[in-house]
Chains A and B, each alone.
Chain A
Amino acid sequence: GQNIDQPTEMTATEGAIVQINCTYQTSGFNGLFWYQQHAGEAPTFLSYNVLDGLEEKGRFSSFLSRSKGYSYLLLKELQMKDSASYLCAVIGSNYQLIWGAGTKLIIKP
C-alpha cells in the first residue's frame, strides 16, 4: 500500500526553529511537495523536492532523502502567522498526489 506519515501536532515558540518530518512508502516517486494550509482555507505551495538534498527558500527549507523515504520541512524564525497545518504530498507512479494527513503546528508567544 501507499503511506505517508507525519506527526499529528507540534508546538513551538515564536522566534524558534521547528522541523516537521515526513516519511513515505509509495509505489513510485516523482517528487514531494510541502503545502501550508490555514484553517478553513485551501493549501498553498511551499516547496518541491525531487532530488536528494536541501532546498532553501527564505525562512523555509525542505530536505529530501529518497533512499530513506524521508523529508522534512524546516521553519526558522517562527512567526505567529506560521500557525497552520503543513501537508506533505508525494507524486506517485501515476503522477497523482498522495497526501499525508498533515501536521498541525501551534506557535506560542
Chain B
Amino acid sequence: GAVVSQHPSWVICKSGTSVKIECRSLDFQATTMFWYRQFPKQSLMLMATSNEGSKATYEQGVEKDKFLINHASLTLSTLTVTSAHPEDSSFYICSARVPGLDYNEQFFGPGTRLTVL
C-alpha cells in the first residue's frame, strides 16, 4: 500500500515553455502532498505543501507564480513550471502523507527529471 506515482518520469522542454507534473496517490487519499526539488549531489529542498481544496503553502524563496500547484482532488496534485528556464532543470519529487499513521511518514513518488534547453 501507500503507492505514489508521478508523471512524466522525465521531460525535456524548450526555454519559455510550461511543464505540468502530476502526482497521484494510487491506493489512499492524500489530504497533504509535498513537492520537492533536488539538484545533483544536494539534498531534497521542500518547495511547497499542497493541501486538498486550499491554496498551497510555499517555502521561502519559491515563486508561487512560477511554480503553480493545484491539489484539486484527494488523489491528485499537479505542479506546473511556467516559463521554464535552464536553471529550473532539476529532479522534482512529490510525496504524500498517509492519513491515520502514528507518525508523519511520507511516501515518495518516483520523481520527474526536468531538463530545460
Count of interface residues, chain B, beta-carbon cutoff 8 Å? 19
A30 near B: Cβ within 8 Å? yes
User: CA of A107 to CA of B109 in the docked complex: distance in angstroms?
Assistant: 26
Across the interface, which residues of A come within 8 angstroms of B7, CB to CB? none
Q: Are B43 and A42 in contact (CB under 8 A)?
A: no
Q: A33-B105, A87-B43, A87-B44 are in contact. Are A96 and B49 (CB under 8 A)?
A: yes
Answer yes or no: B54 CB below 8 A from chain A CBs. no
> What residues on A are CB-neighbors of B107 within 8 Å?
45
Q: Per-position contact with B for A25-68: 1 when CB-CB < 8 Å, else 0?
A: 00000110100000011111100101000000000000000000
Kindly state the interface size class of chain A when it binds its partner: 20 to 34
B60 at the A/B interface (Cβ < 8 Å)? no
- Interface 0/1 of A82-98, CB less than 8 Å to B: 00000100010001110
State which of B44, B104, B110 has its C-beta within 8 Å of the C-beta of A99. B44
* Main DSSP-derived SS at the A contact region: loop
B106 on the A face (CB < 8 A): yes
Closest beta carbon of chain A to B30's beta carbon, Å: 15
Q: Which residue of B lies closest to A100 (CB)?
A: B43
B46 at the interface (CB under 8 A from A): yes
Is B106 touching A97 in the complex (CB atoms < 8 A)?
yes
Q: Are A50 and B103 also in contact (CB < 8 A) when A41-B110, A44-B108, A96-B49 are?
A: yes
Interface residues of A (CB under 8 A from B): 30-31, 33, 40-45, 48, 50, 87, 91, 95-97, 99-102
